Chains A and B, each alone.
Chain A
Amino acid sequence: MIIRQLSVFLENRAGRLTELTGILADNDINISAFSIADTTDFGILRVITGKPELAEKVLKERGFAVKITDVIGIVMRNKPGALHHALQILTDNGISIEYMYAFASGDDRATAVIRTDSPKKAIEVLQLHKMELLKTGDVYQI
């Protein structure tokens, strides 16, 4: 249930992101979902991929600061109130969210990627409420 997300430090410098996507493409690594958190000086690229370990290795070899971060993915119906329902469960259980991003999967469903300080507890309470969670194996199919 825990998804291994790739986090990469990026300087805000022209062409740097293209360089990174090029390295991933050359190594046949598909980007299933991503988000960029940016400040004026730097950005943090977060990537969900089927091959996080390989991606970490090839990017490290090319001098990027890379880290694998544990996140969870909540799969929801793509309709009003679905995200609110999921977040309410987390809030009610005292689980705070460091950051999140979401993507639509095309087939009337959406996935919210969530980074929390207690992913295991989050999984527990979400399962208790019968929420569908993204599994590692699913990442290949996104």
Chain B
Amino acid sequence: MIWNEYHECMDRQRLTELQGERLRDMVERIYFNVPFYRNKLQEMGIEPGDIRSVEDLKKLPFTTKQDLRDNYPFGLFAVPQHDVVRLHASSGTTGKSTVVGYTHNDILMWSEVVARSLTMAGVTRDDIIQVAYGYGLFTGGLGLHYGAEKIGASVIPISGGNTKKQLQLLEDFGSTAIACTPSYAAYLGEAIAEEKLDRSKIKLKAGIFGAEPWTEEMRTQIQQLLGLKAYDIYGLSEVIGPGVSMECGFQHGMHVFEDHFIPEIIDPETCEVLPYGTLGELVFTTVTKEAMPLLRYRTRDLTRLHVETCECGRTLVRMEKCVGRSDDMLIIRGVNVFPSQVESVLLEMSETKPHYLLVVDRENNLDTLEIQVEVEEQFFSDEVKELEGLRKRISGNLTSLLGLHASVRLVEPGTIERSMGKAQRVVDKRKLK
């Protein structure tokens, strides 16, 4: 099923023309309504009339998260406040949070892209969907909610947390779909196993998981635990929220809704635009958003784009699962390390689960990496040589994948904090010194 065949399967030539028209309109709107962008464009000697097609996108300036912070809270809004019907904010780990605004049309557009996304996961009006993303300033809950309602599915706005209630409703209401973070999905799956719930009462067939990085191994684990097909949804509040791109049933990457969000891949160092199939930083231009349009917004997510038409018939480009955020990327002794790499090693090993913490430190001017891994109850041996052997195997696998020595410390089960939202997997003590 395709929600909007006209836009999702559009001939790419026609799509490029549509993007060009929308880009021209957008540049005009921000030039006249957002002083920040007008100043930037004027500095570069660009006038709205200079932008005629998508080809001209590369002449335009980038927008960064810092620009959003500098213009906190409403400095980048392109409409008067009375046209803004919704505000969301993302939690800032450092300093101010970033605020995003939506007009009524923006909410409609967002519902549309989420409806397309849910349809890709096979969700229809006959489904009961448990939205276990947080409702509130975070875009996850309300984003999925509006899209699911647009489809006509029955929405359970349970929000995040409260695992007991989640399990009860899964059983009592017979929810057929669930949307939450992948780490919470794994947590729920483990809770089902622990509580020894009657699996025949769990009717889940599709899971829509996003808002944090996860691996293929984690997908397999969640699918086994919850007995559903797990789909990857991508989004960021600055661009719209969840629903910027989504996996179809063939799962060859996430289709980007290019009629609303124009993606580019750039070299994060030189900012040069890279061709399809090349790894680089993902950049979005929101051509239809009214309240807070963003020009070439640097997501910091590292991925590749593929343009070949998908088996599902959609012509929209597919983005690979992000290999990491350049924010999350740790540079340890000159080597790039992503927490997701550690996770994939632990998931591949049958004796470990992905409960881990990276501790980076500096001793005598040399970076050190310690990875704490929980001892799994069933693999706990009371012989030192067995545990030492396990520790060495984990360390060896990590060292060969990361290309950097990683020492492993075994810790007691349940001592590494389970994240209910975005996973916090790194303690970088170097920054504190």
Contact of B11 with A by CB under 8 A: no
Stretch at the interface among B176-184, B233-241, B405-413: B405-413
Which listed residue (A44, A67, A69) contacts B384, Cβ 8 A? A44
A9–B375 CB distance below 8 A: yes
Chain B residues lying within 8 Å of A44, measured Cβ to Cβ, are 382-384, 387
* Contact of A64 with B412 at beta-carbon distance under 8 Å, contacts A39-B388, A42-B387 already known: yes
A9–B388 CB distance below 8 A: no
* Contact of A99 with B412 at beta-carbon distance under 8 Å, contacts A9-B375, A39-B388, A65-B377 already known: no
A9–B384 CB distance below 8 A: no
B388–A46 CB distance below 8 A: no
A-B CB contacts (within 8 Å), total count: 55
B376-406 contacts to A (CB < 8 Å): 376-377, 380-384, 387-388, 391
Chain B residues lying within 8 Å of A42, measured Cβ to Cβ, are 387, 409-411
CA distance A63 to B377 in the complex (A): 10
Q: Which single residue of chain B is at the shortest CB-CB distance from A40?
A: B409
Contact of A28 with B by CB under 8 A: no
B382–A41 CB distance below 8 A: no
Contact of A53 with B by CB under 8 A: no
Contact of B415 with A by CB under 8 A: yes
Contact of A11 with B by CB under 8 A: yes
A41–B410 CB distance below 8 A: yes
CA distance A69 to B384 in the complex (A): 14
Q: Which single residue of chain A is at the shortest CB-CB distance from B410?
A: A42
0/1 interface trace, chain A 35-59, chain B, CB 8 Å (1 if under): 0010101101010000000000000
0/1 interface trace, chain B 355-375, chain A, CB 8 Å (1 if under): 000000000000000000001
Contact of A98 with B by CB under 8 A: yes
Chain A residues lying within 8 Å of B414, measured Cβ to Cβ, are 63
B contacts with A, residue count (CB < 8 A): 18
CA distance A60 to B414 in the complex (A): 11
Which listed residue (B377, B384, B413) contacts A37, Cβ 8 A? B384
CA distance A98 to B384 in the complex (A): 10
Q: Which single residue of chain B is at the shortest CB-CB distance from A71?
A: B382
CA distance A42 to B411 in the complex (A): 8
Chain B residues lying within 8 Å of A64, measured Cβ to Cβ, are 412-413
0/1 interface trace, chain A 77-97, chain B, CB 8 Å (1 if under): 000000000000000000000
Contact of A111 with B by CB under 8 A: no
B410–A67 CB distance below 8 A: no
Closest chain-A Cβ to B399's Cβ sits at a distance in Å of 17
Chain A residues lying within 8 Å of B376, measured Cβ to Cβ, are 65
A63–B383 CB distance below 8 A: no
Chain A residues lying within 8 Å of B409, measured Cβ to Cβ, are 41-42
Chain B residues lying within 8 Å of A76, measured Cβ to Cβ, are none
Which listed residue (A39, A63, A67, A69) contacts B412, Cβ 8 A? A63
Closest chain-B Cβ to A68's Cβ sits at a distance in Å of 9
Closest chain-A Cβ to B196's Cβ sits at a distance in Å of 15
0/1 interface trace, chain B 404-433, chain A, CB 8 Å (1 if under): 000001111111000000000000000000
CA distance A11 to B384 in the complex (A): 13
CA distance A37 to B413 in the complex (A): 19
Chain A residues lying within 8 Å of B383, measured Cβ to Cβ, are 44, 98-99, 115
* Contact of A65 with B384 at beta-carbon distance under 8 Å, contacts A10-B412, A41-B409, A42-B410 already known: no
Closest chain-B Cβ to A51's Cβ sits at a distance in Å of 18
CA distance A11 to B372 in the complex (A): 11
Closest chain-A Cβ to B371's Cβ sits at a distance in Å of 12
Closest chain-B Cβ to A40's Cβ sits at a distance in Å of 9
Closest chain-B Cβ to A3's Cβ sits at a distance in Å of 13
CA distance A121 to B381 in the complex (A): 22
B387–A67 CB distance below 8 A: no
Which listed residue (B377, B382, B411) contacts A69, Cβ 8 A? B382
Q: Which single residue of chain A is at the shortest CB-CB distance from B407?
A: A41
CA distance A7 to B380 in the complex (A): 9
Given contacts A7-B382, A9-B375, list 7 more A-B pairs with CB under 8 A: A5-B382, A9-B387, A11-B412, A41-B410, A46-B382, A60-B377, A65-B376
Counting from the closest, the 10 A-B pairs by CB-CB distance are A7-B382, A65-B380, A63-B414, A69-B382, A41-B409, A37-B384, A65-B377, A65-B413, A11-B412, A65-B375
* Pairs A–B under 8 Å by Cβ, sample size 29: A5-B382, A7-B382, A9-B387, A9-B410, A9-B413, A11-B410, A11-B412, A11-B415, A39-B384, A39-B388, A41-B391, A41-B410, A42-B411, A44-B384, A44-B387, A46-B382, A60-B377, A63-B414, A64-B413, A65-B375, A65-B376, A65-B377, A66-B377, A66-B380, A67-B377, A67-B380, A67-B381, A67-B382, A99-B384
